[in-house]
Amino acid sequence: MSIETNIQLAAMIIALNEETHIRDCIASVQWTDRVVVILDPRSQDRTRELAETAGADIIENPFQNFAQQRNDALDAVEAEWILFVDADERSSPAQAAEIRTLIAKGEHNGYWIPRHNYIFGKLTRYTGWYPDYQLRLLKRDKAHYDPAREVHELVQIEGEAGYLTEPFVHYNYQSMAQFREKQSRYVRYDARILKEQGIQPRPHKFITQPVRQFIWRFITLKGYKDGLHGLRLSLLMAWYELQKYVHLVRDR
């Protein structure tokens, strides 16, 4: 897959069944030189139609994992810089100005971008969801993704990355059903990694690890400042920490 062109900055959006978000996402990055949607061919909704109408180029690319999909995206466009944006994220004019300034200076080959996460419709400033830095602005020929990291992708770049101050707005988990689905997927992945590392779940871990997770999010990361919302999220993440060890036992 490829788009033969030579541009300074391309926004790349990886998408599967994203008709709810795709138009607003594309609109928020129209300030870039080219917007490209990397579309999973399994997509069954109106993502392609809406993206094309919004002015984006479409590349269909079969999905294996996120690291592979992002590496393929890096190879797809002859752009100097790539800005990776998820469909449920939004850029802003202030972020556009900051990015243009930074890439003109050329001090780094990549930049971490903070995110304002809206979870269940609420801006979550603590509990581990801010600043939530993501390494998403990359000089294309100086970066690639570690293929061994299938989720929570790991970028490998030449040199030290810089930091933006202007955030993405991230419309994260919109419902409890979506939260459960994603966290269950992450739990299974994390349990598999622990198993591959030869970790044996000792009985006390079923108590200590969830408690540590709760204390870390609610106290250390100041989840209490998010009020009842922070308490709820801290308890949920403690529960899924427990489930990670449950899966580790089941999969032995």
* Structural domain boundaries enclosing 236: 176-250
Are 205 and 149 in the same domain?
no
Q: How confident is the model at residue 68 (pLDDT cuts 50, 70, 90)?
A: very high
Are 208 and 157 in the same domain?
no
Are 122 and 155 in the same domain?
yes
Give CA–CA dist 199/216, Å, rounded: 22
Are 89 and 155 in the same domain?
yes
Chain centre distance of CA 95: 17
Give residue 56's pLDDT. Answer: 97
Domain boundary among 145, 171, 197: 171
Q: How confident is the model at residue 124 (pLDDT cuts 50, 70, 90)?
A: very high
Give CA–CA dist 184/246, Å, rounded: 12
Are 33 and 126 in the same domain?
yes
User: Cβ contacts of residue 70 below 8 Å, gap of 6+?
Assistant: 12, 14, 84, 145, 153
Query: Tens digit of pLDDT for each residue in 190-200?
Result: 888 888 888 88
Domain boundary among 171, 188, 211: 171
Over the chain, what is the mean pLDDT? 94
Are 149 and 184 in the same domain?
no
Are 44 and 156 in the same domain?
yes
Q: How confident is the model at residue 183 (pLDDT cuts 50, 70, 90)?
A: very high
Does an H or E element contain 179, and which? helix 176-196
169, pLDDT greater than 90: yes
Are 149 and 194 in the same domain?
no
What is the number of domains present in the chain? 2
Give residue 3's pLDDT. Answer: 52
Domain boundary among 151, 171, 191: 171
252, pLDDT greater than 80: no
Q: What average pLDDT does this structure show over 57-83?
A: 93
Give residue 249's pLDDT. Answer: 86
Q: What average pLDDT does this structure show over 133-140?
A: 97
Looking at per-residue confidence, does 153 or 142 come out higher?
142
Are 167 and 184 in the same domain?
no
6, pLDDT greater than 70: no
201, pLDDT greater than 90: no
Q: How confident is the model at residue 202 (pLDDT cuts 50, 70, 90)?
A: confident
Structure tokens at 77: 């466009």
Are 215 and 230 in contact by the 8 Å Cβ rule? The answer is: no
Give CA–CA dist 39/32, Å, rounded: 19
Are 150 and 192 in the same domain?
no
User: Cβ contacts of residue 96 below 8 Å, gap of 6+?
Assistant: 31, 32
Give residue 208's pLDDT. Answer: 96
Query: Tens digit of pLDDT for each residue in 73-107?
Result: 999 988 999 999 999 999 999 999 999 999 999 99
Burial tier of 241 (Cβ tally within 10 Å: 0-12, 13-18, 19+)? buried
Are 61 and 124 in the same domain?
yes
CATH code of the domain covering residue 62: 3.90.550.10
Are 72 and 197 in the same domain?
no
Q: How confident is the model at residue 1 (pLDDT cuts 50, 70, 90)?
A: low
